[in-house]
Amino acid sequence: MSKSVLLVNPWIYDFAAYDFWLKPLGLLYLGGLLRANHHTVSYIDCLNPRSLPMLEKFGKAPKRHAYGHGRFFRQVVDKPKCLEILPRNYCRYGIDPDIFRDELGRYSGMDLVLVTSMMTYWYPGVFEVIKIVKEALPGTPVVLGGKYASLCYEHAQAHSGADWVVNGRGEMQILEILKTIFGEPIRFLPDDDDLDALPYPAFDLLDQPDQIPIITSLGCPYRCSYCASHLLHRKFIRRHPLRVVDEIEHWHRNFGVIDFSFYDDALLAEPDLLIKPLLHGLKKRGLNCRFHCPNGLHLRDIDEELSRLLFDSGFKTIRFGFETSDFRLQKSTGGKVENEELRLAVIHLRNAGYAPEDIGIYLLCGIPGQKTADVARSIDFVLSCGAKPILAEYSPIPGTKMWEEAVAASPFDIRREPLYHNNSLLSCRNDDFSYEAYRRLKAKLKSPPGNGGFEDGI
């Protein structure tokens, strides 16, 4: 007997949130797999920026960009006590809870509800969803999975209110749960390492998908000390490049999707094995799409040929993880890139046709012990290479190599309270790299100084 399963993408509670090509890719992958196991799948997106009841209630749609990113609906809410220290509005991003309750009313016959989670410090939205589901659909088991559930497993088990909490990849675990609760046989479960055997994510459930996220690999060959990639995906596994082209062609031709975002941790690693054949494949099939890489790409692999291929294939948004120009910090955090590699990569990208403001370079700021001058020097270096610095505030993640250092450096109890992992809080700030110093850097980035450089002005 097949079961009816409801997927829910919860609200975000934060000081700031922008739909930077955000979609619950893992949850929708599970939707595709459940269908392949003969179950019926429905979906509620608490973040839906196109919700009609929201438009009717508030009369104004959030501003969206043609490339598929943009704002969410937003309501200012009370700050949790421990975040009162930050003098900024705290908001619930997404639809009104009453509209969510109304939507749930249409799904009274559900057998199982699956709730996903993203950032560890976004758990308030997850808890609220679970609470409302429990009130509206009493007796229906709720399963929680995703990043928060995996990285803060004990916290989620103790406080979320879910009946089941899943740590790590969900494919096998959700089918096992259906078997345990309902005696449902597992009809189709591909090998964990064979990403091409998975059914496509259930994107058809989205309200007019204006962009679709694609993943070509899971995991990363590097082990940077601040990053959770290896905790979430222990092995680096990849799809066949032409199967990725097949998927892009499917969404483009059958659903009219033009914009695609890549969620990989290591899209450009070993370019001859994946990205180059993928881009040649797209060209051969004459697909005219736009691609966006909001997650940092690897600079080390950028050469003349790859730069041209990216530019010619319609890669409009390119962001790279550089993090710092300090050689010692580069080495001690994992050695993924060096200064000269950035300089060379930018030359190739500029020659291929990218303008300086197209080449976004992420700089990590607020890591334990970091000084303001380090970030300022890194900004100056990126500008001197002819690219655009973008500050990425450090978010401490349990289980990473840097975690114990972060616990020792933070003025907040980050071990007990995941809300303190919030990147806006700069949870490992210190007397030198204070919140005010960070605000000054941020303000200056909006109007870069002339000849003096950033370091001089700080």
Residues contributing to the site for ligand B12 (CB under 6 A): 17, 20, 22-23, 25-27, 29-30, 114-116, 118-121, 143-147, 150, 166, 169-171, 173-174, 215, 227-229, 232-233, 263, 265, 294-295, 392-393, 395, 397, 421, 423
Residue facing ligand B12 at closest CB distance: 26
Q: Which option in ligand B12, ligand SF4, none does residue 143 bind, with CB closer than 5 to 8 A by kind?
A: ligand B12
Q: Which does 299 bind (CB under 5 to 8 A by kind): ligand B12, ligand SF4, none?
A: none
Residues in CB range of 55: below 8 A, 6 or more apart: 61
At 334 the three-state DSSP class reads: coil
Residue 48 interaction partner, one of ligand B12, ligand SF4, none, beta carbon < 5-8 Å per kind: none
Residue closer to ligand SF4 (CB basis): 259 or 265:
265
Check residue 123 for interaction with ligand SF4 (CB under 6 A).
Answer: no
Residue 165 contact among ligand B12, ligand SF4, none, beta carbon within 5 to 8 Å by kind? none
User: Does the footprint of ligand SF4 cover residue 403 (CB under 6 A)?
Assistant: no
Binding status of residue 265 toward ligand SF4 by CB under 6 A: yes
The torsion defined by the Cα of 314, 17, 72 and 163, in degrees rounded to 10, comes to: 110
Minimum distance from residue 334 beta carbon to ligand SF4 (Å): 6
Q: What is the 3-state secondary structure (H, E, C) of 210-247?
A: CCEEECCEECCCCCCCCCCHHHHCCCCEECCHHHHHHH
Residues 6 or more apart whose CB falls under 8 angstroms from that of 122 comprise: 10, 12, 13, 14, 148
Considering the complex, state which of residue 35 and residue 308 has its C-beta at the smaller distance from ligand B12: 35
Is 222 a binding residue for ligand SF4 by CB under 6 A? The answer is yes
DSSP state at residue 10? -
Binding flag, residue 227, ligand SF4 (CB under 6 A): yes
294 binds, among ligand SF4, ligand B12, none (CB under 5 to 8 A by kind): ligand B12
Measured from the CB atom, the residue of 117 and 307 that comes closer to ligand B12 is: 117
DSSP 8-class letter at 11: -
CA 67 to each of CA 204, 277, 321: distance values in angstroms, whole numbers, following the listed order = 19, 24, 22
Is the dihedral angle over the CA atoms 76, 79, 80, 83 positive or is it negative?
positive
Binding of ligand SF4 by 224 (CB under 6 A): yes
DSSP-assigned letter for residue 199: P
| Residue with Cβ nearer ligand B12 (13 or 348) | 13
- Residue 322 CA to residue 387 CA, distance in Å, equals 11
Q: Work out which of 161, 199, 334, 386 binds ligand SF4, going by CB under 6 A.
A: 334
Q: Is 274 in the site for ligand SF4 (CB under 6 A)?
A: no
Antiparallel, parallel or unpaired: β 217-218 and 74-77: unpaired
Query: What's the rounded Cα separation, in Å, for the pair 51 and 430?
Result: 42
Asked if residue 170 binds ligand SF4 (CB under 6 A), the reply is no
**Alpha-carbon distance 436 to 305, whole Å?**
43
CB nearer ligand B12, residue 6 or residue 306: 6
Residue (48 or 325) nearer to ligand SF4, CB: 325
321 near ligand SF4, rule: CB under 6 A: yes
Q: Please, what is the minimum distance in Å from the beta carbon of residue 351 to ligand B12?
A: 27
- Nearer to ligand SF4 (CB atom), residue 150 or residue 229: 229
Q: Which is nearer to ligand SF4, 226 or 315 (CB)?
A: 226
Q: Which does 145 bind (CB under 5 to 8 A by kind): ligand SF4, ligand B12, none?
A: ligand B12
Characterize 216-248 residue by residue with b for buried, 16 or more Cβ atoms within 10 angstroms of its Cβ, and e for exposed. Answer: bbbbbebebebbbbbbbbeebebbbbeebbebb
All residues at 6 or more sequence positions from 242 whose CB lies less than 8 Å from its CB, including other chains: 277, 278, 281
Q: How many residues does the chain have?
A: 458
Distance between CA 448 and CA 79 in Å, rounded? 33
Task: Judge whether 366 and 405 are in contact, CB under 8 Å.
Answer: no
- What is residue 119's DSSP assignment? S
Number of residues that bind ligand SF4 (CB under 6 A): 11
CB of 269 to ligand SF4, least distance (A): 8
Q: Which of 292, 336, 348, 377 binds ligand SF4 (CB under 6 A)?
A: 336
Between residues 168 and 448, which has the closer beta carbon with respect to ligand SF4? 168
Torsion 432-434-439-442 (CA) sign: positive
Q: Indicate which of ligand B12, ligand SF4, none lies near residue 224 (CB less than 5 to 8 Å, by partner kind).
A: ligand SF4
Minimum Å gap between C-beta 23 and ligand B12 is 6
CA 458 – CA 32 distance, rounded (Å): 51
By the criterion CB under 6 A, which residues form the site for ligand SF4?
220, 222-224, 227, 229, 265-266, 321, 334, 336
